[in-house]
């Protein structure tokens, strides 16, 4: 099967330091891949390269088989990649209402007005914010903003959605509630997802396959049970030990 997202020997440099050292990854359509790694391991860089916000120093990025970035070149700009993103800081546009935040991408894709309204309404209902469509992000709680960010990404019906530690700074209850919502939305839309996190339990709650990134290299890949049984590095061992401690 042609992977929805594929990275082939991708390198990235910043300030004369290699951030990524030849990583290769494949995410098949409809799959959720959790990219786990400690702070500074290069997770966000991987995401920015897939999005087309950063060109790889070396290597190829393919989306549904087509090369989109290659050896310092961005072949397809971010807006033509059919991707959606939830950033760590959510990046909700503060001058636009919830509804306008969701409409932005649809508007630029020239979605007919009726379809646009219907999709926004449906998505806001799914995330439980249909009564807050006219609010500005500054008038919402932390959990509500998180929901808007997820809704804004999925309303576009993207090929794949990329999530960069979207649940950081939320309490445990809210986090598990949002993980359940995200899982059901991804299943509903059938979107491929790359979920960047440093929390193993988030990956497991999403039933995701896991890739572990350490110091710019993929050091392990597989289902959680396999990695737990045979942890290849101290970091992976610590991840699952933390999980067991609760």
What residues make contact with other proteins under the rule CB under 8 A? 51-53, 77-81, 83-85, 87, 89, 91, 93-95, 104-105, 108-109, 136, 138-139, 152, 156
Query: Smallest gap, in angstroms, from Cβ of residue 205 to other proteins?
Result: 25
CA nearest to 241, candidates 170, 197, 227: 227
Q: Give the residue with the Cβ less far from other proteins, 87 or 240.
A: 87
H-helix or E-strand spanning residue 38 = none
Query: Smallest gap, in angstroms, from Cβ of residue 79 to other proteins?
Result: 4
Query: Smallest gap, in angstroms, from Cβ of residue 31 to other proteins?
Result: 20
Q: Give the residue with the Cβ less far from other proteins, 19 or 218.
A: 19
- What Cα–Cα distance (Å) separates residue 164 from each residue in 26, 109, 225? 18, 24, 23
Q: Give the residue with the Cβ less far from other proteins, 81 or 209.
A: 81
Q: Give the residue with the Cβ less far from other proteins, 117 or 219.
A: 117
Pairing of strands 66-70, 73-74: antiparallel
Under the phi-then-psi rule, with left for phi > 0, alpha for psi from -120 to 50, and beta for the rest, what region is 70? beta
How crowded is residue 158: how many other Cβ atoms within 10 Å of its Cβ?
19
**What's CA 21's distance to the chain center, in Å?**
21
Can you tell me whether residue 230 is helix, strand or coil? coil
How long a stretch of residues is the chain? Answer: 246
Q: Give the residue with the Cβ less far from other proteins, 77 or 128.
A: 77
Query: Smallest gap, in angstroms, from Cβ of residue 149 to other proteins?
Result: 9
Query: Smallest gap, in angstroms, from Cβ of residue 241 to other proteins?
Result: 30
């Amino acid at each position: 099967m042609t992977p929805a997202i594929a990275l082939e020997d991708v390198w990235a440099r910043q300030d004369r330091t290699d951030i990524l050292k030849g990583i290769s990854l494949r995410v098949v359509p409809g799959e959720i891949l959790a990219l786990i790694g400690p702070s500074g391991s290069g997770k966000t860089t991987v995401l920015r390269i897939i999005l087309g916000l950063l060109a790889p120093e070396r290597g190829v990025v393919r989306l549904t088989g087509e090369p989109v970035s290659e050896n310092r070149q961005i072949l397809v700009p971010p807006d033509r990649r059919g991707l959606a993103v939830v950033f760590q800081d959510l990046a909700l546009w503060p001058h636009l209402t919830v509804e306008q935040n969701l409409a932005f991408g649809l508007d630029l894709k020239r979605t007919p007005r009726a379809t646009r309204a219907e999709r926004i309404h449906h998505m806001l209902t799914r995330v439980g914010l249909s009564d807050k469509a006219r609010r500005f992000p500054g008038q919402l709680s932390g959990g509500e903003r998180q929901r808007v960010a997820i809704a804004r990404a999925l309303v576009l019906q993207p090929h794949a959605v990329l999530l960069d530690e979207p649940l950081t700074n939320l309490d445990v209850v809210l986090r598990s509630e949002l993980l359940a919502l995200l899982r059901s939305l991804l299943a509903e839309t059938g979107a491929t997802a790359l979920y960047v996190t440093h929390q193993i339990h988030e990956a497991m709650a999403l039933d995701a396959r896991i890739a572990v990134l350490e110091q710019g290299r993929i050091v392990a890949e597989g289902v959680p049970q396999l990695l737990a049984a045979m942890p290849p590095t101290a970091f992976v061992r610590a991840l699952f030990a933390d999980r067991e401690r609760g």
